[in-house]
Amino acid sequence: MMSKTKSKKPSSAAPDLEKLGAFYLGKTYDLEQQAIRDEALLYDAKDLTTHGICVGMTGSGKTGLCLAMLEEAALDGIPTLAIDPKGDLGNLCLTFPGLSPSDFRPWIDESEAARNGQSADAYAGTVSKRWRKGLEEWNQDGERIQRFRDAADVSIYTPGSNAGIPITVLRSFDAPSPELMEDSDAMRERTKCAVSGLLVLLGIEADPIKSREHILLSTILDRAWRAGRNLNLPDIIREIQSPPVDRIGVFDLESFYPSKDRLELAMSLNNLLASPGFASWMEGEPLDIGRLLYTEDGRPRISILSIAHLSDAERMFFVTIVLNELLAWVRTQAGTSSLRAIFYMDEIFGYFPPTRNPPSKQPMLTLLKQARAYGVGMMLATQNPVDLDYKGLANTGTWFIGRMQTERDKLRVLDGLEGAAVAGGAMLDRGDMDRILSGLGSRVFLMHNVHEDAPIIFHTRWVLSFLRGPMTRTQIRELTSGTETAAPALATSEAPAKNQPVAQAAEPGAATERPEISTDVNQFFMPLSEAIGDGNRLLYRPSIYAAARVHYVRVSAKVDAWLSMAFLTPAPESSAAPDWDGSALFDKNAPALAQAPDPAGTFEEPSGSMTRVRNYAKWVKLLQSYIYQERRGTIFRCKELKQFSNLGESEGEFRGRLAHAAREKRDLELDKLRKKYGSKLATIEDRIRRAEQKIEKERSQLGQQKYQTAISLGATILGAFMGRKVGSYRNVSRATTTMRGAGRAMREKEDIARAEEDLDAQRTRLRELEDEFKQAIETMEAKFDAGVLDLEEIIVPPRKTDITIQPIGLCWTPWRITPDGIAEPLHR
């Protein structure tokens, strides 16, 4: 892993500064001497809010540098959302504090061991020694690896696969937040990107202006979202067939997009939904940015979204959806100058090209322009610099440039650097930069940071994680086999604990036609979450559905908020009341209900109580009473930071926000400490420098005085031996001069001794001041450690007069009945 350069063990290390918003990336490098210097390269975390780009060919050390940055971010409590197209980022899970051969053995490539002429067991021992030695040379050890493991949770998600933690993207078609809907430009952009990503999945590269598929789908999403309705793929398929509009522009619907052609588009989507491979896209945790950045207890996460197993179209769809979700999340955050989170993509080839406009390009460009104001740093990497839109990257603050593969690559990078320099109001010496880039070797990078006075050449440090290469799905499965996945965002009424739907034996007596029920009873239909499947039949079962708007107020806790919640409960027996306490609760994302069933469905006969209108009026009052008594809100207060959580915000989400608030305060305090001690340290260092100069001057004068005295003494002795009378007076005069010279030399020695005493005193004062500064840093860190902040739980009851139930009615939930009589839920 180490490059063949002159190096020496660093004399000082970064651990004392690693928690101060400074990323230890390596050591400065002398390009002329091909040698690593002792000066640590500490990258200011706040600089990454202006984003970064890392370019370098295979073997340049690009992956190691980027993983080192993610490790440092985790050590500083900063979460990362990472997209991994190649499978390299899973190496962040391979951290072995004990550094024993047995730790490395399961991850040893046996073919690589054979190429080295060793057995796998022996090679594991070799790797273990190499890793221990590499860490020691960079002032790191197993203890620092353990700190990294303790600092953050590392998880691997695999969309469209259960190799890692499954993740579903269905929420990407849910109605955006009110804040986003108020921004017309943001709404238009989100709609365009969501539709473009979906059409790419169907193999359709559609122009948002000219494509009728794009225009129709955009119209469907826009109308549903502005009405506050969530959509899923079955909803979209139905609305393609029966759009909620009669005209698009000045044309009537049939002229613009005939029903026959719309059916073809709907069939394409339906075939996608019905395909066995797409079923895994519907499973797993929701794509929730907040949950991907922080654990339930508020610890930062490194969430790796592995997409190496997907097709090109699926990758583009997923990356576009993730960027859209991240953009929506960013816009709900408060502005900050501190680094809140990192978005990292390991290989952006094809996702941000200079000429084409794939669906991923627009949200990525928007994030590069806007995310910095909210403390989200974009870190992008590629080995193909010719496929980057450098105009879009002109405002990127930091460029990490490694060895280039071709002259063309180097010229493109120089173009990008020149554009970035001009955007920052500076000039680039293209010739000098060309010379530097031509001399870069393995693991040697040039850092061009607009926050620094000049570019810096450095050698990357040894990473804490074992770099065993890209991971297969089998290896990812081994790493995540013990991981507990969270429950789906939405639940079913028939679900057991954790809201997980299960198969049941089908009940007899299902009707073949829809029962006749009074029109005064509201009827709703849960949409199908997936296709029925060949040989199966669709059965609708009756449940009670109710939606509520509840007002929570507590002035002392700064709470005045309305929450929406929905309940889905099984049919009550006879005249009994619904079991609201045992119902499925939708406290954030109410289901998108339909007004009509699937034509292929049959119906189970509802109980008599569900068909009587007067019962619903009773049930409304019972539900209001239940909400008032049982659905009390909970918030948390942090006295130290004088902050309250939002209503409905989990403790983990709140601790995540507190971590950033603490980091902001820490950064401010750190700036004050640096200014306070910086001037003092600079003064003492100047005194030390002057004392050293004085000693050199005194020593030089002493040397000259000794030389003059020696000459004078020699002349006096020579004259005495000659014995000439005419020279006797001169000899006496020379002797006197020699004596005076010796006296001056003695005084010069005394001056040197006093200067050395002063230098020692100044050095002692410098050490004392440095210790004082470190103590102040440690005290400040303990003060702003979000993990130990005490939280007080505050109960907020709903206002009894502000509980509105609307609507309430009979809800038909779809079930698949297999040929052997097993019922499986077709709703989420």
Q: Where are the domains of the chain?
A: 170-281, 504-632+797-825, 660-784
Q: Do 553 and 634 touch, CB atoms closer than 8 A?
A: no
Identify the band that residue 217 occupies on the pLDDT scale cut at 50, 70 and 90: very high
CA atoms within 13 A on the CB side of 392: 22
pLDDT at residue 424 above 70?
no
123-139 residue pLDDT tens: 999 999 999 999 999 99
- 540 and 573 in contact (C-beta within 8 Å)? no
Q: Has residue 584 got a pLDDT over 70? A: yes
Work out the average pLDDT over 535-549: 91
| pTM exceeds 0.85, yes or no | no
pLDDT tens, position by position, 667-709: 887 778 777 777 777 788 778 778 777 777 767 765 665 555 5
pLDDT value at residue 503: 47
- pLDDT mean across residues, the chain: 82
Residue 578 makes CB contacts below 8 A (sequence gap 6+) with 544, 569, 570, 572, 619, 622, 623
Q: Where are the alpha helices (DSSP H) in 51-100?
A: 62-75
Q: What is the mean pLDDT of residues 737-741?
A: 54
pLDDT computed for residue 729 by the predictor:
47
Q: Which of 291-305, 425-439, 569-583, 718-732 has the lowest mean pLDDT?
A: 718-732
Would you place residue 182 in the very low, low, confident or very high pLDDT band (cuts 50, 70, 90)? Answer: confident
For residue 376, pLDDT over 80 is answered with yes
The angle, 0 to 180 degrees and rounded to 10, between the axes of the packed helices 212-226 and 233-241 is: 110
Q: Considering only residues 62 and 581, tell me which one the structure prediction assigns the higher pLDDT.
A: 62
Residue 16: is its pLDDT beyond 80?
A: no
Closest CA to 52 of 289, 373, 372: 372
**Residue 443 in this model has a pLDDT that exceeds 90:** yes
Could you tell me how far CA 112 lies from the centroid of its own chain?
33
The Cα-based distances of 48 to 84, 440, 698, 793 in angstroms read 20, 23, 48, 35
Q: CB-hemisphere CA count at 13 Å for 703?
A: 6
- Pairing, β 559-570 against β 584-586: antiparallel
